[in-house]
């Protein structure tokens, strides 16, 4: 909802609501990979806006992406003070969490989103399914409480949410949907890679991380 910087669209850095766009633009096959992040009024019932993320150029080499070294994310860092309720700093009392969001994508199939700790090394790479292309769907992902990791309950950036925009083999895991020690892992070999598909897109809105094993109705905040 909040577009404080006032640009009509972004290609990198902070975009809307402090969500950060980050990817390696230049590939090892030549040319530049770019994504465009724009505020859209295309949104599910109950929401005014969404963010549209679109691959606006792939690298050289016949439209291929960046190979093993390619990665791209749309991410948010959650402060320790705002995530104390999960008790992830205390493994004996840590609670399960649920991530929910609305998505509309150009391609159906498997996509990926990652939850990471403060250090970036303890990660839960979750896969989710887009059932139908170009259709708004609510996605719900259950995240078991971590038994280890570096977590903060102060004003440090604690939990990080990374939506995968496409990742090469160096950033893929063969053990999704479980906690792993794998710095930089954000995707799987079966997940859709936006960076290798020109004009592919995903819309996102209503992203919510909460305590428990089920997704509640979205909690709206006053502007």
| Tens digits of residue pLDDT in 17-35 | 999 999 986 655 556 789 9
- Strand, helix or coil at 196? helix
Long-range contacts of 51-54 (CB under 8 A, 24+ apart): 51/15, 51/16, 51/19, 51/203, 51/204, 51/205, 52/201, 52/202, 52/203, 53/21, 53/163, 53/165, 53/194, 53/201, 53/202, 53/203, 53/204, 54/199, 54/200, 54/201
Model pLDDT, residue 1:
87
CB burial class (10 A; 0-12, 13-18, 19+) of residue 184? middle
74 has pLDDT over 90:
yes
Phi, psi dihedrals of residue 124, rounded to the nearest 5° = -120, 100
Question: Of 194, 119, 129, nearest to 159 (Cα)?
Answer: 119
**Using CA atoms, how far apart are residues 186 and 164, in angstroms rounded to an integer?**
6
Element holding 19 (H helix, E strand)? none
Listed in sequence order, the residues at least 6 apart from 13 whose beta carbon sits closer than 8 Å to its beta carbon are 20, 21, 22
Give percent above pLDDT 70 in the chain: 93
Cα first-last separation, the chain: 8
Question: Of 14, 107, 1, 124, nearest to 55 (Cα)?
Answer: 107
Q: What is the pTM of this model?
A: 0.94
Model pLDDT, residue 60:
53
61 has pLDDT over 80:
no
Give percent above pLDDT 90 in the chain: 86
């Amino acid at each position: 909802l909040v577009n404080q910087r006032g640009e009509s669209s972004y290609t990198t850095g902070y975009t809307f609501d402090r969500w950060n766009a980050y990817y390696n633009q230049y590939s090892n096959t030549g040319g530049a990979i770019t994504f465009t992040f724009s505020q859209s009024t295309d949104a599910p019932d109950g929401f005014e806006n969404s963010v549209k993320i679109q691959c606006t150029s792939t690298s050289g080499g016949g439209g291929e992406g960046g190979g093993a070294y390619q990665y791209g994310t749309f991410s948010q860092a959650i402060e320790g003070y705002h995530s104390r309720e999960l008790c992830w700093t205390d493994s004996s009392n840590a609670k399960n969490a649920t991530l929910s969001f609305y998505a509309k994508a150009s391609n159906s199939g498997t996509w990926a989103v990652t939850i990471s700790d403060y250090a970036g090394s303890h990660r839960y790479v979750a896969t989710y399914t887009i059932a139908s292309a170009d259709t708004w769907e609510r996605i719900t992902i259950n995240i078991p409480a971590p038994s280890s990791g570096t977590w903060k309950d102060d004003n440090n950036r604690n939990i990080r949410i990374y939506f995968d925009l496409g990742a090469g083999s160096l950033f893929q895991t063969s053990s999704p949907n479980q906690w792993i020690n794998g710095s930089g892992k954000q995707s799987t070999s079966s997940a859709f890679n936006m960076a290798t598909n020109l004009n592919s897109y995903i819309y996102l809105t209503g992203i919510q991380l909460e305590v428990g094993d089920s997704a509640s109705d979205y909690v709206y905040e006053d502007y």
